[in-house]
Amino acid sequence: MSTAHSARARARIEVTAAIKDEARRQLAAEGAAKLSLRAVARELGMVSSALYRYFPSRDDLLTALIIDAYDSVGEAAETALGAAGDADPVERWTVVCEAVRTWALAHPHEYALIYGTPIPGYVAPETTVPAAARVALVLIGIVRDARMGPGLDLPPLPADLEAEAERMAADFASDLPPAVAPALVAAWAQLFGLIGFELFGQFHRVVEEREAFFRNAARHLAHGVGLS
Protein backbone atom coordinates (compact mmCIF):
# COMPACT_ATOMS: atom_id res chain seq x y z
CA MET A 1 0.00 0.00 0.00
CA SER A 2 2.98 2.25 0.35
CA THR A 3 3.76 1.70 -3.31
CA ALA A 4 3.22 4.81 -5.32
CA HIS A 5 -0.06 5.75 -6.79
CA SER A 6 1.81 8.26 -8.86
CA ALA A 7 5.06 10.11 -8.97
CA ARG A 8 3.39 13.10 -7.44
CA ALA A 9 1.92 11.11 -4.58
CA ARG A 10 5.30 9.58 -3.84
CA ALA A 11 6.96 12.98 -3.93
CA ARG A 12 4.37 14.31 -1.56
CA ILE A 13 5.11 11.59 0.96
CA GLU A 14 8.82 12.22 0.72
CA VAL A 15 8.57 15.98 1.05
CA THR A 16 6.22 15.61 3.98
CA ALA A 17 8.73 13.34 5.67
CA ALA A 18 11.59 15.70 4.92
CA ILE A 19 9.68 18.57 6.48
CA LYS A 20 8.97 16.55 9.59
CA ASP A 21 12.58 15.45 9.83
CA GLU A 22 13.91 18.96 9.57
CA ALA A 23 11.28 20.18 11.99
CA ARG A 24 12.27 17.47 14.43
CA ARG A 25 15.88 18.53 14.09
CA GLN A 26 15.03 22.12 14.91
CA LEU A 27 12.77 21.01 17.73
CA ALA A 28 15.57 18.98 19.27
CA ALA A 29 18.02 21.81 18.84
CA GLU A 30 16.01 24.78 20.01
CA GLY A 31 12.67 23.71 21.39
CA ALA A 32 9.13 24.02 20.17
CA ALA A 33 8.88 27.75 20.72
CA LYS A 34 11.69 28.46 18.31
CA LEU A 35 10.55 26.04 15.65
CA SER A 36 9.68 28.19 12.68
CA LEU A 37 8.14 27.18 9.41
CA ARG A 38 10.29 29.68 7.61
CA ALA A 39 13.49 28.21 8.99
CA VAL A 40 12.38 24.70 8.07
CA ALA A 41 11.56 25.81 4.56
CA ARG A 42 14.84 27.68 4.26
CA GLU A 43 16.81 24.63 5.31
CA LEU A 44 14.96 22.55 2.75
CA GLY A 45 15.56 25.05 -0.02
CA MET A 46 11.92 25.88 -0.40
CA VAL A 47 10.11 29.10 -0.02
CA SER A 48 8.03 29.31 3.14
CA SER A 49 4.68 29.48 1.41
CA ALA A 50 5.30 26.16 -0.32
CA LEU A 51 5.36 24.46 3.03
CA TYR A 52 1.72 25.29 3.57
CA ARG A 53 0.88 22.81 0.83
CA TYR A 54 1.91 20.12 3.30
CA PHE A 55 0.95 21.50 6.69
CA PRO A 56 -1.84 24.05 6.79
CA SER A 57 -0.37 25.72 9.84
CA ARG A 58 2.47 25.58 12.31
CA ASP A 59 0.15 23.87 14.78
CA ASP A 60 -0.51 21.06 12.33
CA LEU A 61 3.20 20.48 11.96
CA LEU A 62 3.50 20.43 15.74
CA THR A 63 0.65 17.96 15.96
CA ALA A 64 2.53 15.60 13.67
CA LEU A 65 5.61 15.93 15.85
CA ILE A 66 3.53 15.36 18.97
CA ILE A 67 2.17 12.09 17.65
CA ASP A 68 5.65 10.97 16.66
CA ALA A 69 6.95 11.85 20.12
CA TYR A 70 4.19 9.88 21.85
CA ASP A 71 4.96 6.93 19.62
CA SER A 72 8.66 7.28 20.30
CA VAL A 73 8.33 7.23 24.07
CA GLY A 74 5.67 4.54 23.87
CA GLU A 75 7.98 2.37 21.82
CA ALA A 76 10.80 2.97 24.30
CA ALA A 77 8.54 1.75 27.10
CA GLU A 78 7.40 -1.28 25.15
CA THR A 79 10.94 -2.21 24.21
CA ALA A 80 12.09 -1.93 27.79
CA LEU A 81 9.27 -4.15 28.95
CA GLY A 82 10.15 -6.70 26.32
CA ALA A 83 13.77 -6.68 27.39
CA ALA A 84 12.80 -7.12 31.01
CA GLY A 85 11.77 -10.67 30.21
CA ASP A 86 10.25 -12.46 33.14
CA ALA A 87 11.64 -10.36 35.92
CA ASP A 88 9.37 -9.81 38.90
CA PRO A 89 6.62 -7.21 38.51
CA VAL A 90 8.28 -4.52 40.59
CA GLU A 91 11.42 -4.82 38.53
CA ARG A 92 9.47 -4.74 35.28
CA TRP A 93 7.63 -1.63 36.43
CA THR A 94 10.86 0.02 37.48
CA VAL A 95 12.62 -0.80 34.24
CA VAL A 96 9.81 0.71 32.21
CA CYS A 97 9.85 3.87 34.34
CA GLU A 98 13.58 4.14 33.84
CA ALA A 99 13.18 3.71 30.11
CA VAL A 100 10.69 6.55 29.99
CA ARG A 101 13.04 8.73 32.02
CA THR A 102 15.97 7.84 29.79
CA TRP A 103 13.95 8.67 26.72
CA ALA A 104 12.96 12.00 28.26
CA LEU A 105 16.54 12.92 29.09
CA ALA A 106 17.57 12.09 25.55
CA HIS A 107 14.68 14.00 23.97
CA PRO A 108 13.95 16.86 26.34
CA HIS A 109 12.20 19.11 23.86
CA GLU A 110 10.05 16.32 22.55
CA TYR A 111 9.19 15.45 26.12
CA ALA A 112 8.27 19.06 26.76
CA LEU A 113 6.12 19.03 23.67
CA ILE A 114 3.94 16.22 24.94
CA TYR A 115 4.09 16.47 28.73
CA GLY A 116 4.92 20.12 29.24
CA THR A 117 2.85 23.23 28.86
CA PRO A 118 0.34 22.76 26.08
CA ILE A 119 0.71 25.06 23.10
CA PRO A 120 -1.54 28.01 23.92
CA GLY A 121 -4.84 27.88 22.14
CA TYR A 122 -3.94 24.46 20.90
CA VAL A 123 -6.22 21.50 21.54
CA ALA A 124 -4.80 18.07 20.83
CA PRO A 125 -6.91 16.39 18.17
CA GLU A 126 -8.29 12.96 18.99
CA THR A 127 -5.70 11.57 16.59
CA THR A 128 -3.09 11.82 19.31
CA VAL A 129 -4.98 9.66 21.78
CA PRO A 130 -3.83 6.17 20.72
CA ALA A 131 -0.19 7.22 20.59
CA ALA A 132 -0.50 9.01 23.90
CA ALA A 133 -1.89 5.91 25.56
CA ARG A 134 0.99 3.58 24.80
CA VAL A 135 3.08 4.23 27.91
CA ALA A 136 0.02 3.96 30.09
CA LEU A 137 -0.93 0.69 28.47
CA VAL A 138 2.49 -0.75 29.19
CA LEU A 139 2.14 0.14 32.86
CA ILE A 140 -1.36 -1.28 33.01
CA GLY A 141 -0.10 -4.46 31.37
CA ILE A 142 2.51 -4.97 34.04
CA VAL A 143 -0.09 -4.76 36.76
CA ARG A 144 -2.38 -7.04 34.82
CA ASP A 145 0.33 -9.66 34.42
CA ALA A 146 1.25 -9.40 38.08
CA ARG A 147 -2.30 -10.22 38.97
CA MET A 148 -1.74 -13.67 37.50
CA GLY A 149 1.02 -14.16 40.02
CA PRO A 150 0.67 -12.94 43.60
CA GLY A 151 -2.44 -10.88 44.20
CA LEU A 152 -2.38 -7.11 44.32
CA ASP A 153 -2.63 -5.60 47.71
CA LEU A 154 -4.12 -2.17 47.97
CA PRO A 155 -5.63 -0.09 50.75
CA PRO A 156 -9.40 0.33 50.57
CA LEU A 157 -10.81 3.29 48.68
CA PRO A 158 -12.63 6.16 50.35
CA ALA A 159 -16.36 5.98 49.73
CA ASP A 160 -16.42 8.98 47.41
CA LEU A 161 -14.04 7.24 44.99
CA GLU A 162 -15.69 3.87 44.66
CA ALA A 163 -17.99 4.74 41.79
CA GLU A 164 -15.22 6.62 40.01
CA ALA A 165 -12.86 3.71 40.44
CA GLU A 166 -15.36 1.33 38.90
CA ARG A 167 -15.90 3.68 35.99
CA MET A 168 -12.15 3.96 35.47
CA ALA A 169 -11.60 0.24 35.70
CA ALA A 170 -14.38 -0.37 33.20
CA ASP A 171 -12.63 2.03 30.82
CA PHE A 172 -9.15 0.64 30.80
CA ALA A 173 -8.65 -2.12 33.37
CA SER A 174 -11.82 -4.14 33.28
CA ASP A 175 -10.08 -7.30 34.41
CA LEU A 176 -8.50 -5.70 37.46
CA PRO A 177 -10.02 -4.88 40.84
CA PRO A 178 -11.48 -1.36 40.69
CA ALA A 179 -9.27 -0.06 43.47
CA VAL A 180 -6.21 -0.42 41.28
CA ALA A 181 -7.48 2.01 38.66
CA PRO A 182 -7.08 5.27 40.57
CA ALA A 183 -3.79 4.04 41.96
CA LEU A 184 -2.55 3.40 38.46
CA VAL A 185 -3.62 6.77 37.17
CA ALA A 186 -2.01 8.49 40.12
CA ALA A 187 1.23 6.57 39.70
CA TRP A 188 1.21 7.38 35.99
CA ALA A 189 0.88 11.10 36.67
CA GLN A 190 3.42 10.97 39.48
CA LEU A 191 5.95 9.24 37.26
CA PHE A 192 5.83 12.18 34.91
CA GLY A 193 6.02 14.55 37.83
CA LEU A 194 9.34 13.03 38.79
CA ILE A 195 10.64 13.12 35.25
CA GLY A 196 9.36 16.60 34.53
CA PHE A 197 10.89 18.07 37.66
CA GLU A 198 14.25 16.57 36.84
CA LEU A 199 14.08 17.66 33.22
CA PHE A 200 12.82 21.14 33.86
CA GLY A 201 15.44 21.97 36.41
CA GLN A 202 13.49 21.81 39.65
CA PHE A 203 15.96 19.27 41.01
CA HIS A 204 18.85 21.65 40.47
CA ARG A 205 20.89 21.62 43.67
CA VAL A 206 18.29 19.35 45.25
CA VAL A 207 18.89 15.90 43.78
CA GLU A 208 22.38 14.91 42.74
CA GLU A 209 22.28 11.12 42.47
CA ARG A 210 19.45 11.16 40.05
CA GLU A 211 19.47 7.60 38.77
CA ALA A 212 19.43 6.15 42.27
CA PHE A 213 16.85 8.65 43.41
CA PHE A 214 14.59 7.94 40.48
CA ARG A 215 14.93 4.21 40.73
CA ASN A 216 13.94 4.32 44.37
CA ALA A 217 10.97 6.55 43.66
CA ALA A 218 9.84 4.33 40.78
CA ARG A 219 9.94 1.28 43.04
CA HIS A 220 7.73 3.07 45.53
CA LEU A 221 5.32 3.88 42.73
CA ALA A 222 5.18 0.18 41.95
CA HIS A 223 4.25 -0.55 45.53
CA GLY A 224 1.61 2.14 45.28
CA VAL A 225 -0.20 0.22 42.56
CA GLY A 226 -0.08 -2.96 44.59
CA LEU A 227 2.97 -4.66 43.12
CA SER A 228 5.30 -6.44 45.49
Measured from the CB atom, the residue of 3 and 126 that comes closer to a second copy is 126
The verdict on 28 binding a second copy (CB under 8 A) reads no
Q: How far apart are CA 228 and CA 223, in angstroms?
A: 6
209 binds, among DNA, a second copy, none (CB under 5 to 8 A by kind): a second copy
Measured from the CB atom, the residue of 176 and 217 that comes closer to a second copy is 217
Candidates 202, 224, 195, 213; CA nearest to 97 is 195
Q: How many CA atoms lie within 13 A of 216 on its CB side?
A: 6
**Interacting residues toward DNA by CB under 7 A:** 5-9, 11-12, 15, 35-39, 42, 45-50, 52-54, 56-59
Residue 204 CB, shortest distance to DNA, in Å, is: 23
The verdict on 177 binding a second copy (CB under 8 A) reads no
Measured from the CB atom, the residue of 148 and 189 that comes closer to a second copy is 189
Residue 18 CB, shortest distance to DNA, in Å, is: 10
Residue 129: Cβ within 10 Å count: 11
For 26, 32, 156, 214, 217, the CA distances from 220, given in Å and listed in that order, are 37, 33, 18, 10, 5
Identified binder of a second copy from the candidate list 19, 61, 104, 194, rule CB under 8 A:
194
Phi-psi region of 150 (alpha: psi -120 to 50; beta: other; left: phi over 0): beta
Q: How far apart are CA 217 and CA 188, in angstroms?
A: 12
The verdict on 224 binding a second copy (CB under 8 A) reads yes
Burial class of 194 by CB neighbour count within 10 A (0 to 12, 13 to 18, 19+): buried
The residues of the shown chain that bind a second copy, judged by CB under 8 A, are 30-34, 109, 112, 115-121, 124, 132, 157-158, 160-161, 163-164, 167-168, 171-172, 182-183, 185-186, 188-194, 196-198, 200-203, 206-209, 212-213, 215-217, 220, 224
